[in-house]
Amino acid sequence: MSQPALNQDSLNQDLRRLVYYSRNRVGGPAAMNETIRGILAASRTNNARVGVTGALMFNAGCFAQVLEGPGEAVETTFERIQQDERHGEVSLLAFEAVETRLFTEWSMAFVGASQADAALYGDMAGESGFDLSRMTGNNLCAVLHGLALEEEAAAA
C-alpha cells in the first residue's frame, strides 16, 4: 500500500512529519476497541490515497500519532483529525520538513497494544500514566518507530 507513496517521495520537495498527542474521550474498553478499529480502517484507506504513512499509539487514556507525507496531505489529514470528537486537548509536538520517511511500510501502524510492548515502554508509564507532555516530538516519534519495528518482527 505504501510503496507508491514511497516512490513519489523522490519527486516530492515537501515531505513533512507531524507528531502530536491527545486525550481519549471514548469511555470503556469495548467502545475503545470499536473506536480503534474504526479509526484504523478510515486511516488506512484515506492515508494510502494521499501518500500519508505513520503510526498510532493508544495508552493510558491518550493517543499519540506520527503522520508523514506531502505537506499538504499531512495538514489536511491533521485538520480532519483535530475535529474528531473521539479525542481532545490535541497537543502538537512537531511539524517539520524531513528528508525521508521513518514509517515507510505503514499507512497507519497501530502500536503499543501488545503485552510485549507494554513491557518495553513500561519504564515510561508509571502510576500517573504515560507522561507524553514531557516528551519531545523526536522522542515520541522514536518510541512509536521502535514499537512498530518490534511488532513487525514479532509478526514475522
For ligand FMN, the closer CB: 44 or 142: 44
CB of 81 to ligand FMN, least distance (A): 4
For ligand FMN, the closer CB: 18 or 156: 18
Interface positions with ligand FMN (CB under 6 A): 39, 42-43, 46-47, 56, 63, 65, 77, 80-81, 84, 86-87, 108
For ligand FMN, the closer CB: 28 or 153: 28
CB of 152 to ligand FMN, least distance (A): 18
For ligand FMN, the closer CB: 56 or 141: 56
Task: Spell out the SS3 assignment of the chain.
Answer: CCHHHHHHHCCCCCEEEEEEEEEECCCCHHHHHHHHHHHHHHHHHHHHHHCCEEEEEEECCEEEEEEEEEHHHHHHHHHHHHCCCCEEEEEEEEEEECCCCCCCCCCCEEECCCHHHHHHCCCCEECCEECHHHCCHHHHHHHHHHHHHHHHHHHC
